[in-house]
Amino acid sequence: MQQSLPISEIIQSRISRRNYLPEPLTHETITAIKQMFAAFSSGPLGTSLSFSLVSREDTATQKLKLGTYGFIQGARYFIAGQIQPSVIGFLDYGYTLEKLILEFTRMGLGTCWLGGTFDRGEFSKAIGLKEGFVIPAITPIGYASETRGIGERLIRLGAGSDKRLPHEKLFFDGNPSTPLLLPEGHPLESILKAVRMAPSASNNQPWRIVVDGNLLRFYISRKPGYQKAFSQVDMQMIDMGIAMSHFDLVARENGISPEWSISETTPMFEGLEYVISVFLPS
Ligand SMILES: Cc1cc2nc3c(=O)[nH]c(=O)nc-3n(C[C@H](O)[C@H](O)[C@H](O)COP(=O)(O)O)c2cc1C
């Protein structure tokens, strides 16, 4: 347990874990996880969220197979939530599950966002998916093995998981042709560093932020054709929610209370889709 570590350090230390040890979670850990579900039952934009902890043992008796197409090895437990699909729902889901994931990281547990490589049909049965709802993404949870298997190393290499786009390709001053320059020690520096470390589907890092004084606008730079693979789930909108959570957590750690809102009228930029704004009171 790394109770005292600041959230900015937890963010820097989290990575996707795909190989797990056979040890079951302790009763205390299971209770703590379920208590967190209760505490994280709605997103910052108002979506009500329900998460389930599913174990292989329980689902085996129902003859369900919690498959991950070989991407995850040895995991006994998974967390899956359900929402009615909407932009706000995906933002809230990304924001909230990432906050949970960071708390689990603090507890020394391994996780890995999975949006594509899991058996949606079997997981839907395991959590009793309601009519009109979707599972946006899930995560295994457990004690990760110290060493990475060859499969995990190949997946990380394939996605370029250890790399992030440089600051100047993500954060802008007024418009996307002007990279944001920050004087050293500027309050935004640590906040944007945390956004840049966010996990994203296929490590596509679709988040772009345009700064306009105390108002920052989040835009999405979609990977062409990517959405086609996911039908009802807007995977890159989940990425945007994850970036919001990193922004929000580190801003609050620095004594700033971000105010989120979706504006009707915003500057439009080629290749970018407006998502949400955040106001930082001075
Ligand atoms: C919304 C979302 C969906 C993801 N889906 C998958 C997946 O289906 N399979 C997988 O192995 N990794 C998946 N990932 C993990 C990413 O590949 C990983 O976060 C990225 O490569 C960065 O690596 P890191 O998490 O270790 O920092 C997903 C991540 C996110 C945020």
CATH 3.40.109.30 domain span(s) along the chain: 167-279
Candidates 221, 219, 209; CA nearest to 280 is: 209
Q: Is the CB of 144 under 6 A from ligand 1?
A: no
- The span from the CA of 108 to the CA of 1, in Å, is 6
Q: How far is the CA of 223 from the centre of ligand 1 (A)?
A: 15
Q: Radius of gyration over alpha carbons of the chain, in Å? A: 19
Q: Is the CB of 239 under 6 A from ligand 1?
A: yes
Best of 15, 113, 135, 245 to mutate for ligand 1, by most ligand atoms within 8 A of CB? 113
pTM of the model: 0.97
pLDDT of res. 63: 83
pLDDT of res. 201: 97
Q: Is the CB of 137 under 6 A from ligand 1?
A: yes
Q: How far is the CA of 139 from the centre of ligand 1 (A)?
A: 10
Element (H, E) at 208: strand 207-212
Q: How far is the CA of 212 from the centre of ligand 1 (A)?
A: 31
Q: Is the CB of 117 under 6 A from ligand 1?
A: yes
Q: Whose CA is nearest to atom 7 of ligand 1?
A: 114
pLDDT of res. 230: 87
| 169 token code pair | 């390709």
Q: Is the CB of 16 under 6 A from ligand 1?
A: yes
Q: Is the CB of 102 under 6 A from ligand 1?
A: no
On the CB side of 45, CA atoms within 13 Å amount to: 21
On the CB side of 174, CA atoms within 13 Å amount to: 3
pLDDT of res. 246: 98
Indicate if the alpha-carbon torsion angle 195, 266, 261, 215 is positive or negative. positive
CATH of domain 167-279: 3.40.109.30
Q: Does domain 7-153 bear CATH number 3.90.230.10?
A: no
Q: Is the CB of 73 under 6 A from ligand 1?
A: no
pLDDT of res. 1: 58
Q: Whose CA is nearest to atom 28 of ligand 1?
A: 201
CATH 3.40.109.10 domain span(s) along the chain: 7-153
Q: pLDDT digit of tens for each residue in the chain (282 aa)?
A: 566 899 999 999 999 999 999 999 999 999 999 999 999 999 999 999 999 999 988 877 778 889 999 999 999 999 999 999 999 999 999 999 999 999 999 999 999 999 999 999 999 999 999 999 999 999 999 999 988 889 999 999 999 999 999 999 999 999 999 999 999 999 999 999 999 999 999 999 999 999 999 999 999 999 999 988 888 999 999 999 999 999 999 999 999 999 999 998 999 999 999 999 999 998
pLDDT of res. 2: 61
